[in-house]
Amino acid sequence: MVTVVSHPLVQHKLSLMRDTQTGVKEFRELASEVSLLLAYEAMRDLEIGPVRLSTPLETAEFPMLSGKKLALVAILRAGLIMTDAIVTLVPAAKVGHIGLYRDPQTLKPVAYYNKLPADIAERRVFLTDPMLATGGSASAAIQFLKDAGAQSIKLMSILAAPEGVAVIEKEHPDVEIVVAAIDRELNDHGYIVPGLGDAGDRIYGTK
């Protein structure tokens, strides 16, 4: 299942991210803001339950988060900007990292780094990768999380290609995808078109 967050603020900020005139500082800020807005939607179904507490005026029951604890997992490196932003909303969440590279022979993603919370199986996992392009890395990361015991996973991306969405829907139909937009296509170099370019380069000012 895919949720496209069509809120005007998200769409406006995403358009600014696409613009080649947008520099590193602003791009980073926009990526963080869009991530927060995506998280707002992705976390809409978090469980809440009544907790008894006292305001200065009376004691009563009020809703607080009550379900499984959360884990945010970034696919390196561009996913970091998203987890860094989202952890400000859910400061008790644990944060994991998965680094993948594409094997030049097999063209398959291989994990070169991973560090996940030990209790990942007991947590709701929000996996972040700003660009869901071919879907290869995201699918491998999801499989990696499942192999580590994760049972509840949502994938959060700022921008997706239809090809990437199709891969995740086929290989991981249990994983909900939350995105700001699904663009037209992937080009021959694996870039999302019209897209916003290389998200990692634009976040970190590299080329």
Q: How far is the CB of 88 from ligand URA (least distance, A)?
A: 23
Q: How far is the CB of 201 from ligand URA (least distance, A)?
A: 7
142 binds ligand URA (CB under 6 A): no
Residue closer to ligand URA (CB basis): 70 or 159: 159
168 binds ligand URA (CB under 6 A): no
Kindly provide the b/e burial profile for residues 181-203, where b requires at least 16 CB atoms within 10 angstroms of the residue's own CB: bbbeebeeeebbeebbeebbebb
CB 92 within 8 A of CB 70: yes
Q: How far is the CB of 199 from ligand URA (least distance, A)?
A: 4
Q: How far apart are CA 42 and CA 167, in angstroms?
A: 20
CB 46 within 8 A of CB 66: no
Count residues binding ligand URA (CB under 6 A).
9
Q: Is 118 part of any known ligand binding site? A: no
- How far apart are the two ends of the chain, measured CA to CA in Å? 34
81 binds ligand URA (CB under 6 A): no
* From candidates 39, 131, 140, 145, binder to ligand URA by CB under 6 A: 131
β-strand partners of 185: 193
Q: Is 109 part of any known ligand binding site? A: no
Binding site residue list: 77, 102, 129-137, 192, 197-199
